[in-house]
A = this chain, B = another copy of it.
């Protein structure tokens, strides 16, 4: 018998496969009691096995009627974007580097013209008015977060 993290991961995977649209919603506490473990165990499983690099997206809401939604991304975006996003997120970015990525994505038709313009505005040094090192970090965070959002949008 495997460890509990594996069991929980398998159950989630099964549920995802049985779901017609590749989206499931669970309640953390409920799943935890089903497996007789602490709720943060579920968080751990999601954090280690349902990551963006593996093609999953996780959203949640707290409070009464709260939930955790797990989305299995379709194959196509799973190849191109995540790798680039990972590269972008890894290190701080200069404006020139950021613009390079954006232009490349635009040329590859992964961004519309409007989307590219928005991203260019967001990475502009006049908009990101911060000390240089912090600015380059924020630029990287922003660009990767926005591109990640795009993956989720489909």
Contacts and interface: CB of A to CB of B under 8 A. Distances in A.
Nearest to A119: B118
A125 B20 CA distance: 32
Contact of A115 (B1, B114, B120, B121): B114
Contacts of A145: 121-122, 124, 127
- Interface of A: prevailing SS: helix
Task: List the number of copies, as a whole number.
Answer: 2
A148 B149 CA distance: 20
13 contacts: A3-B63, A113-B153, A114-B115, A114-B154, A115-B115, A115-B118, A117-B150, A117-B152, A118-B119, A121-B148, A122-B142, A128-B142, A142-B142
